[in-house]
Chains A and B, each alone.
Chain A
Amino acid sequence: GAVVSQHPSRVICKSGTSVKIECRSLDFQATTMFWYRQFPKQSLMLMATSNEGSKATYEQGVEKDKFLINHASLTLSTLTVTSAHPEDSSFYICSAATGLSTEAFFGQGTRLTVV
Chain B
Amino acid sequence: ELKVEQNPLFLSMQEGKNYTIYCNYSTTSDRLYWYRQDPGKSLESLFVLLSNGAVKQEGRLMASLDTKARLSTLHITAAVHDLSATYFCAVSRRGSQGNLIFGKGTKLSVKP
Interface residues of A (CB under 8 A from B): 6, 32-34, 42-46, 49, 93, 95-97, 101-109, 111
Contact = CB atoms under 8 A, between A and B. Distances in A.
A78 to B, nearest CB: 17
A103 B99 contact: no
Name the residue among B40, B50, B96, B99 with the largest chain A CB count within 10 angstroms. Answer: B99
A106 B43 contact: yes
27 contacts: A32-B96, A34-B99, A34-B100, A43-B105, A44-B88, A44-B90, A44-B100, A49-B96, A49-B99, A93-B43, A95-B98, A97-B96, A97-B97, A97-B98, A102-B31, A102-B48, A102-B50, A103-B33, A103-B45, A103-B98, A104-B97, A104-B98, A104-B100, A105-B45, A106-B45, A109-B42, A111-B40
Nearest to A105: B45
Nearest to A95: B98
A106 B42 contact: yes
A101 B50 CA distance: 12
Given A93-B43, A109-B41, A103 B48 contact: yes
B45 A44 contact: no
A90 to B, nearest CB: 13
B94 to A, nearest CB: 9
B104 A34 contact: no
A32 B98 contact: yes
A1 to B, nearest CB: 13
Nearest to A45: B102
A44 B103 CA distance: 8
A96 B98 contact: yes
Contacts of B48: 102-103
Nearest to B105: A43
Interface string B12-42: 0000000000000000000101000000111
Nearest to B100: A46
Given A93-B42, A95-B98, 14 more contacts: A32-B96, A34-B99, A43-B88, A43-B102, A43-B105, A46-B100, A46-B101, A93-B43, A97-B97, A102-B31, A102-B50, A103-B31, A103-B97, A106-B43
